[in-house]
Every structure is written in C-alpha cells, then in structure tokens.
Amino acid sequence: MGSGRGGIVTSGAGKVAHKFIDLPIGTFLLTRVSFDSEHNAPYLRLMNEAGEFLYAHPGGQCTLEFNMHRKRCIGWYDMRAGNCHSCPAEREVDDKYEQCPECQQKTGFNPAFYNTTELSQQQAELNAKPHILYLAYFAPHVIKVGITYAARNLARLLEQGARSAVILETFPSANIARQYEAQIARLPGICESVQLRKKINLLTEQRYDQTTARQSLEQAVQEITMRLNVSFEDCEYLELSRYMLDGPEFDSTMLSEISEPKISGEFVGMIGSLIIMRYGERPIFLPLKKFIGRDVIISRETVPLELAPLQTALF
C-alpha cells in the first residue's frame, strides 16, 4: 500500500487539491492523518522546511520518530480553494491545540457548528452543501452516529477507524443532516463520539467479526426507523477493513502499542489514525493523531524499539 500510488486528486468542487507521493525521507511537520477521498488510501500530510505541504502514502519499510520538545501550529486551511497554508507567525501551541487562534480563525471550521450562533462564512458555505448521515461500528454495543460533507466520500469514516458502517441518507445540507443526527444520538445504544483510548481498547481486546458488525448495524437501523418513525430507503452497508489493511485480515488482539514516540518496521496499514507496522514477527501500532504538530524524522531504515514482553498463557 502506498508504493507507486501517486497522482492528482481533485476536490469535491472539481479543483485540484493535491498530489500524492510515496513517503519522503527527512524531517517534516506532521499536520494531518487521514484518507484520500479518491482512492480511500491512508495518507500523512507533511510540511517541509520551506512551508510546502506534501501528501504521502505510507508504505514499505520505514521509521517515524517524533520530536516531543515542541509542538507547532499546523497552519490554516482554505475551505473554498482546498489549499493548506503554513502558520504566518510560525507559532508554537499548547499540547491540547493543533492551531494557533489566528490560523483557527482563518480556517473557520467548527465541527460543532450547531452549538454556536456565530458561524464563519466558510462554515456557512460548507453547511449548505450535501452531507451524509451515517452509523459507524466499533463494537457490538459501540455504534456512533455522525454526519460528514458528502464530497469526502468514505474519508471521514476511515479516519475514525470504523471497521464497518452504514450510510443512512444523503441530505442537501448539514443543518438537515444534523437534525436527524441529534435525534438518533438520543436513542439507547447510539453515541455521538468515541474517544481514541476507547477505540484502542476495543481494537486490542476483541477480534473484529464482519458478520457481527453487519448484524449490529442492521439492528440499529431497525431500532432507529421504529423509534423515530422514519425510513431510509437506500441504506448502504460498508465493510471498510480492505481500505485500512495492506493484506489479509489479522487478529487485532495481538497488536502491541508502542510507548515511545517512534515506530519502525514494515507498514501493514492504518486503522483510523493508528499506524500499524510489523516489527520482526510482531504487529505494533502508534496513534499518530497525538503527534500532529510535532516534527517527525522519516527514514527507510529499521531501528531498535523498546517493546513490552508478550504475555503468554500458562497451561
């Protein structure tokens, strides 16, 4: 995955957004971890020393090592043109932020737009475009409802790490989609958010089963239609693992989380923001989202890692 997968990808408005490359070597600022809307392939958005943004598909043998001594603003995003810009003041930010206040204002994006009376013009324009209402599956009793800009296709579902999902409906605006999202979120067994730590625990503590996932989503749809007295005529059920993993399905309970700010080995895939690699015979992962805003040194060499010993059962 990633090797030789270059090319121009256009935005939903038809404008050229960015060109994908293979993972480069050197030092870069990690500014985003996501999936492209054209091929549903994982990518890292990196910024080089010249302030240029690169969109790289991870793949092959590599090492990512992060500098934890400072966290920098990732810059701002022009939602109309689909372009990224470096932070004009090159500011450092607190650990809990990704952008400085100026770049956040320039971007104008607010995912919780329904909780404020002051919308940016950029957000208002985005809200007026078609949005998807979906259910994302993480475990039999952990199903999340959400909405996303329709032109992003599967990108939002994939960057959350949902192994299965169902698209309930596409609405002409975010405001209409949000009305349904809010009603569904009030139902038992449905949530609006799943924290990263919980996603990791669910991934590593129980094996994913496609049949169970489909049954759970079907039951959730039936419950929603009955309780809210609505119907979704063209539900689309999605099995998403094939976009995340470079190879056959594996037992995620065998995964080991890396405690140090680096990972090394052979790229296996990405489940949401978790990059998965094979270090020797051992599958390991690192949550890349918590390193956004950090400088990363990328090389094609394998380096030693400190791994906790595997627990073995006694018989």
User: Residues 27-49: pLDDT tens digits?
Assistant: 999 999 999 988 899 999 999 99
276-303 tens-digit pLDDT: 999 998 999 999 999 999 999 999 999 9
Which two structure tokens, joined as six digits, stand for 104?
């956040």
Tokens 């995340």, residue?
244
pLDDT, mean of residues 198-209: 92
Long-range contacts of 176-184, Cβ-Cβ distance < 8 Å, separation of 24 or more: 176/131, 177/131, 177/132, 177/133, 177/147, 178/113, 178/114, 178/131, 178/147, 180/133, 180/230, 181/133, 181/145, 181/146, 181/147, 182/114, 183/228, 184/133, 184/135, 184/145, 184/224, 184/228
* Mean confidence (pLDDT) of the chain: 89
In this prediction, residue 4 carries a pLDDT of: 36
H or E element at residue 61:
strand 61-67
State phi, psi for 194 to the nearest 5 degrees.
-135, 120
| pLDDT at residue 248, rounded to an integer | 66
Q: Which of 48-57, 112-121, 231-240, 282-291 has the least mean pLDDT?
A: 112-121
Among 76-85, 208-217, 260-269, where is mean pLDDT lowest? 76-85
Residue whose C-alpha is closest to residue 36's, from 17, 63, 23, 52: 17
Indicate the pLDDT class of residue 80, thresholds 50, 70 and 90. confident
pLDDT of the residue at 173: 96
Q: Is residue 219 over pLDDT 80?
A: yes
The arrangement of strands across the sheet holding 16-22 comes to 7-10, 16-22, 53-57, 42-47, 26-35, 295-299, 61-67, 262-271, 274-279, 282-287, 256-257
- Binned at pLDDT 50, 70 and 90, residue 2 comes out as very low
Between CA 247 and CA 146 the distance in angstroms is 29
Mean pLDDT of 259-263: 95
Does 18 score more than 90 pLDDT? no
C-alpha 176/C-alpha 286 separation (Å) is 37
Quick check: 8 pLDDT over 50?
A: no
Q: Is the per-residue pLDDT at 230 higher than 60?
A: yes
